[in-house]
Amino acid sequence: MGEIRKPAVAGMFYPATSEKLERQLSRLFSEVPVPTVEEKLIPGIIAPHAGYMYSGLTAAYAYKNIADKKYTKVIILSPSHREYFGGISIYDGDAYETPLGRINVDQNIAQRMTDISPRVMRSTAGHRDEHGIEVHLPFLQHIFGSDFELVPVVMGDQSHANIVELSNALLEVMDDDTLVVASSDLSHFYPKSIAHKLDSVIADRIVEYDPVNLEQDLEKQLTHACGGGLVVALMKATKRAGVKNSLLLHRSDSGDVSGDNSSVVGYLSASFYN
């Protein structure tokens, strides 16, 4: 095994030992009701990426919804929180590691995506300390074990051009064995009442399955999401691939846990399905 991306936020965003991590994941999944809609095919989901204490339940709604599915490839789309770069970076190493083990990078899909778009590159840029991919991996390992490969994608600049290029690349590599995860939290550090209004805009656009107007809303700052461009790219790609339906699974904010509603971070999970 060559270059391994080691955990950067274990012990901060989620437990650092496999035993404690599995216990927390089992508890989160036990709190989510059995999905009421039996979707035959779910190629895309949206899930948050904060610490499990705050956003873990909302994320569990997304992952329990796919727990009975089978995927051989998972593409995770993350914003870059810690470093700026102009393009879209797919990790150029061999695997990501969590306390639950290693997940190999799908080198074939990664290369195909870079071949499709000059804006997509193989690099460590955006991956070194980024939590937006890492926090999703234990959820996937909990339900799928090690029976899938990963394509970790970080977008440094969420420009319209990059959103278009990423959606084009996704469209070319998606198939019935592929899950695409858009990693995003919603508004940050507004009072709960204001956060609810801002977050309702993106929630409504997801329910309407309207990526064009969602992108415009984000540009006009009518709503906020750190991974908004990734959500738009996922919605555009799945819609062009013929996916017909969207389903809002859960919404919450950090005040639901902390009790402090003066400054909250919003979370949402959703799926796109046929």
Taken in order 89, 94, 97, 103, the sign of the CA dihedral is positive
Q: What is the mean pLDDT of the chain?
A: 96
In 10 A of CB 79, how many CB atoms? Answer: 23
Over residues 170-187, the mean pLDDT reads 97
Q: What is the Cα–Cα distance from 58 to 203, expressed in whole angstroms?
A: 14
pLDDT in tens, 199-230: 999 999 999 999 999 999 999 999 999 999 99
Q: What is the mean pLDDT of residues 148-176?
A: 97
The pLDDT of 144-155, averaged and rounded, is: 96
All domains of the chain in start order, with CATH: 4-273 (3.40.830.10)
User: In this structure, are residues 218 and 225 in contact, taking their beta carbons and an 8 Å threshold?
Assistant: yes
Look at residues 113, 61, 67 and name the one whose alpha carbon lies nearest to residue 92. Answer: 113
Nearest of 102, 121, 101 to residue 110 by alpha carbon: 121
Looking at residue 42, its pLDDT comes to 95
| Tens digit of each residue's pLDDT (9 = 90 or more) over 19-74 | 999 999 999 999 999 876 666 799 999 999 999 999 999 999 999 999 999 999 99
Please, which pLDDT band fits residue 154 given cuts at 50, 70 and 90? very high
Q: What is the mean pLDDT of residues 138-157?
A: 97
The pLDDT assigned to 37 comes to 62
* Per-residue pLDDT tens digits for 81-98: 999 999 999 999 999 999
Residue 35 has a pLDDT of 75
Task: Give me the helix-helix angle, 18-30 and 137-144, nearest 10°.
Answer: 80
Q: What is the pLDDT of residue 258?
A: 97
Question: In whole angstroms, what is the distance from residue 133 CA to residue 205 CA?
Answer: 24
Residue 3: which residues within 8 A CB-CB, separation 6 or more?
92, 93, 94, 95
Residues 52 and 235: their CA atoms lie apart, in Å, by 25
